[in-house]
Structure 1
Amino acid sequence: MGEVTLADLAFPPHTVTAWIHAAYRRYLGLTPFPARPRPEWTWPST
């Protein structure tokens, strides 16, 4: 069996979870999956 990590998952783009997950992937240096951030939120600086 192979391992699945949080970076391997995808979430519906309109959810808060997708936005947080995209930020996490960006932090890891990976291409973020599509996500729609709320207007008042910004990407964390790395």
Structure 2
Amino acid sequence: KHMEEKEEQVNGPMIKEKRCRFENLFNVSKDERLSGDGWLAPFCQAFKIHK
């Protein structure tokens, strides 16, 4: 089931962890990886996620 169907909430730490997993999965070099949290608020706003 999807998270919505299970009425689970997405939060900032979950999104940041997924980002790390995708960076590793796609072999993103260390110097190209996102650092800090500056990307998180715009990401949440773009996808209508309430932190």
Q: Output the TM-score relative to the length of structure 1.
A: 0.33
The structure whose residues are more often helix, as a share, is 2
Q: Output the TM-score relative to the length of structure 2.
A: 0.31
